[in-house]
């Protein structure tokens, strides 16, 4: 075969390969071949990069449209003019007038939410993000641990939840994050600890803060998913527990996240004697057990029933003499109500937990 013929054959092979990539992209993204070719060519024909670029651009557009509609709504303008009318559209660009009073009443309490917000599910994502903001207004948590964030979701929260400082555990794909109430939590230091053998790009986000005069180490993570990755998940739990026990004795440690853990896995690893599981510590109430419940949560339309306690909060109090001790007071599941779009805020229930000082 001549050199010219070989080049023509290679060229035809490239065309066929790129045509298949365009067809696959169009099928996944629900778009046409022209759009597929545009995104693929801009991303060196790498499917994952091209899809990430497409979905991020699409979601930014969705959030911008939703915000624009919300701001232009005559009903919304009337609500802003009439302070006596209860607002149905939550706007977190301003602190609630009752925030300072609420903070005074809860001066010695630390409130925490942890929630896998399922940012990878693009269905009704703008409505579900606003649903999360509604819960922030309702509970006014001091700390929020979030998992499965994506960049447009974070940008939306930064624009809407201005009373919170957002600390990100990543920049691309999906990742974890924390929201710290600016008026009550002071950020000192942030670090991201990689899991050495993760196959899913998971890590541990560690943040050092002060709450009033108290020192806190806050941690969140999304441990390895799926039943077949139990060994890796247990390795990651061991690392989390090591970081927990290594913290200075004048520091209180709170970890919250989507652990994907099964009780048998926790039993194999074992918790340090000074670390407690908040659900267990607050009475093992059955109605607060399952955070992943396909029987009640229909977001995934799963053809099977699965009920698991994937989302957990672990806690280690400060032990130094003279340092006030924090202990869990109560916890509850949140996000149990369907939004107007007919879906829940996430396919996971969130956990709300309140700690008190003694």
**Could you tell me which residues are beta bridge partners of residue 270?**
none
Domain with CATH 1.10.8 in the chain: 3-57
Catalytic site residue 293? Answer: no
Residues forming CATH 3.60.10.10 domain(s) in the chain: 99-357
What's the rounded Cα separation, in Å, for the pair 65 and 351?
A: 30
By the 10 Å C-beta count (0-12 exposed, 13-18 middle, 19+ buried), 30 is classed as: exposed
Number of C-beta neighbours around residue 301 at 10 A: 7
**Percent of residues in the chain assigned helix, strand, coil, to nearest 5:** 40, 25, 35
Q: What is the pLDDT along the chain (358 residues), one digit of tens a residue?
A: 555 454 445 455 677 788 888 888 777 666 777 777 877 888 888 887 777 677 656 555 656 655 555 554 444 433 433 333 333 344 454 554 445 545 555 678 999 999 999 999 989 999 999 999 999 999 999 999 999 999 999 999 998 999 999 999 999 899 999 999 999 999 999 999 999 999 999 999 999 999 988 999 999 999 999 999 999 999 999 999 999 999 999 999 999 999 999 999 999 999 999 999 999 999 999 999 999 999 999 999 999 999 999 999 999 999 999 999 999 999 999 999 999 999 999 999 999 999 998 8
99-357 belongs to which CATH class? alpha beta
- The CATH number that domain 3-57 falls under is 1.10.8
Q: Is the dihedral of CA 114, 115, 116, 117 positive or negative?
A: negative
Contact in structure between 146 and 177 (CB atoms under 8 Å): yes
Question: Coil, strand, or helix at residue 348?
Answer: coil
Inter-residue contact 256 to 111 (CB < 8 Å): no
* Active-site residue (options: 142, 258, 293, 311): 258
Q: Under DSSP, is residue 213 helix (H, G, I), strand (E, B) or coil?
A: coil
């Amino acid at each position: 075969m001549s050199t010219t013929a070989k080049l023509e054959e290679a060229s035809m092979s490239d065309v066929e390969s790129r045509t298949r990539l365009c067809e696959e992209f169009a099928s996944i993204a629900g778009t046409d071949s022209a759009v597929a070719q545009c995104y693929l060519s801009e991303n060196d024909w790498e499917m994952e990069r091209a899809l990430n670029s497409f979905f991020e651009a699409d979601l930014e557009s969705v959030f911008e449209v939703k915000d624009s509609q919300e701001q232009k709504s005559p009903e919304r303008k009337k609500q802003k003019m009439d302070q006596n009318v209860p607002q149905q559209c939550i706007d977190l660009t301003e602190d609630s007038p009752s925030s300072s009073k609420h903070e005074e009443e809860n001066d010695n309490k630390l409130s925490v939410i942890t929630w896998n917000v399922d940012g990878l599910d693009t269905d009704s994502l703008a409505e579900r993000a606003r649903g999360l903001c509604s819960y922030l207004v309702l509970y006014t948590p001091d700390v929020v641990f979030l998992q499965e964030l994506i960049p447009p979701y974070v940008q939306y929260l930064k624009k809407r939840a201005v009373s919170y400082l957002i600390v990100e555990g990543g920049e691309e794909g999906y990742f974890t994050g924390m929201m710290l109430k600016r008026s009550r939590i002071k950020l000192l230091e942030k670090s991201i600890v990689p899991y050495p053998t993760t196959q899913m790009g998971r890590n541990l986000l560690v943040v050092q803060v002060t709450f009033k005069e108290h020192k806190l180490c806050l941690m969140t993570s999304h441990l390895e998913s799926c039943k077949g990755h139990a060994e890796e998940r247990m390795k990651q739990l061991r690392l989390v527990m090591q970081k927990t026990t290594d913290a200075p004795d004048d520091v209180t440690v709170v970890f919250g996240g989507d652990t994907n853990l099964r009780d048998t896995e926790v039993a194999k690893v074992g918790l340090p004697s000074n670390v407690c599981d908040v659900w267990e510590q607050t009475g093992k109430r059955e109605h607060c057990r399952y955070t992943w419940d396909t029987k009640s949560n229909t977001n995934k339309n799963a053809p099977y029933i699965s009920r698991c306690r994937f989302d957990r909060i672990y806690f280690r109090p400060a032990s130094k003499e003279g340092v006030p001790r924090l202990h869990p007071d109560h916890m509850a599941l949140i996000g149990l109500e369907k939004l107007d779009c007919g879906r829940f805020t996430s396919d996971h229930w969130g956990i709300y937990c309140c700690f008190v000082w003694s």
